[in-house]
Structure 1
């Protein structure tokens, strides 16, 4: 007795056999020829084309620098209307500075992309009679250098000195100090050994001494406050670590400028802030 096997590649023949067996019928074999978009690894995209981001996707680290999905990143505006002189080009950002904070508050943060190459050249899409993609060398944002106090940079310096530091700034040096791969960096402390992020016991003495050494003058707007009005003058930790009282980590700021620092907006609800603004900023 011979038995002829059905052609298992023929959908109708296979279903005829399944029907005799009382088994559920199979659906038609239709090849799926749809192409699926390949999601390139994050690091490869960061170093080549950049990644469009929303504000809540970017993390502001304790040192003020920026991170995206485990990598320290740079932010810049990729799509521009035209390319002019270098001084007219957008800057790239490496810290959450006053410029980024203003863009966020004005709901314009979605114009940015993140990247972390170190060549200093960034992919820019020039929108002018179509779209033309170029790789352009951009300058670093001065407010960012001021935020992390890079190489002694400060916005109160003379313009010539600031421009000299900008021209010497190199991303390889930045990523040497601030590691690109955050997941590969071992924390300096464990949960047991990490110092408490609180003011030191001698903070009042440190604060008063720093104000006196800086001439009771705001390091941002240069307003001088003494005696009865010195309560409007604060000492701010640049890296957010309240126990780090190194002179290079301390800024003397009036309460008006202090409230503009990243994550310090709550100060605007303080009575001292409103009194200061009425008295000095009207």
Structure 2
């Protein structure tokens, strides 16, 4: 987990005294210190380690104590050698990331205790089974695929409306770290992949501070100015090598743009920070959301499934970065159709104040699950 503390008032005072500019970030892998996360990484067993009632369905996604999780059955029906060789073959048991009809059936049949629970996104899972023609039972590790029913419910990368090879491509090329990151706004904790290219140099904080200052605290990707919110501007290593601080390998990126870059360590950016960045982009006229391609570029990735559905059915494009005053507070909206006074939001806390102001408001997950009913509010 990344802890970012705003030292801007202190920095301002220090600058007046002639001290160099510094941006301090405390990076603590708190998840690694948690018994919960340690257990989930290794894989917990339903009934033995935790019970089914402890698993929630948050926005259709499986959740355990604020963490996005997956369920899977280690015992395979297909010949184990084939599953170990290719965990995505037809007949291999899948990873479940959402509340799908397969899980519902298993629950109704009282067979849920067969599942293991994990948030390990490194892609390799312990499986067991028998050799072809009833041979010995063996175990090994396999790169299992994600349940297609789950992908359909989430409409991940438009899966529900794709056909043939395009549909197969989403399934076969799915990256678990990318999938978890796409929905990170729904969760308080984010598991960090163990693979990393090098580590930061001792002078990285100063290198980063100097570079961001040289860029006038402006994102080089979307152009949003963040001089008043410096913690939201990162310095990105283009080639992913953290020790390569050559100027041509550095890029100043807002937190939102940073998460969407290749070759970066998957990070957690809070829902509130993503909303703030879009609010600033709107105020500074840094985006034009007249086309769905623009909306998809700047919206929270947790909304992509719904947005792709809206695009397919040619609904009017929503606006981003809109804030509505409620009393003394501003309420940010994830997706807004102001003329219809209709909004789609991610957090439950956004519902009540917007409804009090006369808006029709749906959670994003409800909009995807009841898409045809939602359309009448927008057309």
Task: Give the TM-score of the pair, scaled to structure 1.
Answer: 0.51
- Larger CA Rg, structure 1 vs 2: 1
**Match in the other structure for 1:159:** 164
Q: 2:55 aligns with which of 58, 65, 68?
A: 58
Contact 1:237 1:249 (C-alpha < 8 Å) held by counterparts: no
**Is residue 2:236 matched to residue 1:239?**
no
CA–CA separation in structure 2 for the residues paired with 1:106 and 1:249: 24
CA–CA separation in structure 2 for the residues paired with 1:92 and 1:149: 16
CA–CA separation in structure 2 for the residues paired with 1:65 and 1:177: 12
| CA deviation string 1:132-182 (max 9, x = no partner) | 33110111111111111111110x542333211101211111122223962
**Is residue 2:44 matched to residue 1:44?**
no
Contact 2:69 2:118 (C-alpha < 8 Å) held by counterparts: yes
Aligned pairs, number: 172
Q: For 2:110, what is the secondary structure of its paired residue?
A: coil
Contact 2:153 2:369 (C-alpha < 8 Å) held by counterparts: no
Q: How do 1:114-263 residues align onto structure 2 when only pairs under 5 Å count?
A: 114-126=117-129, 131-154=137-160, 157-179=162-184, 182-183=188-189, 188=272, 193=331, 194-196=349-351, 239-240=365-366, 251-252=371-372
RMSD: 3.5
CA–CA separation in structure 1 for the residues paired with 2:69 and 2:178: 14
**Match in the other structure for 1:257:** none
Q: For 1:252, what is the secondary structure of its paired residue?
A: helix
Q: Which runs of 5+ in 1 are unaligned?
A: 1-39, 207-235, 254-282
The alpha-carbon distance between structure 1 residues 199 and 90, as it changes in their structure 2 partners (threshold 3 A), is farther
Q: For 2:70, what is the secondary structure of its paired residue?
A: strand
Q: Which runs of 5+ in 2 are unaligned?
A: 1-33, 84-88, 191-267, 276-328, 332-348, 374-379
Contact 1:64 1:96 (C-alpha < 8 Å) held by counterparts: yes
Q: For 1:80, what is the secondary structure of its paired residue?
A: coil
Contact 1:238 1:251 (C-alpha < 8 Å) held by counterparts: no
CA–CA separation in structure 2 for the residues paired with 1:123 and 1:68: 21
CA–CA separation in structure 1 for the residues paired with 2:53 and 2:98: 15
Runs of 4+ aligned structure 1 residues displaced above 6 Å come to 197-203
Question: 1 or 2 for the larger relative contact order (CA 8 Å, sep ≥6)?
Answer: 1
CA–CA separation in structure 2 for the residues paired with 1:72 and 1:141: 15
Task: Give the TM-score of the pair, scaled to structure 2.
Answer: 0.39
Q: How far does residue 60 in structure 1 lie from its aligned partner after superposition? A: 0.9
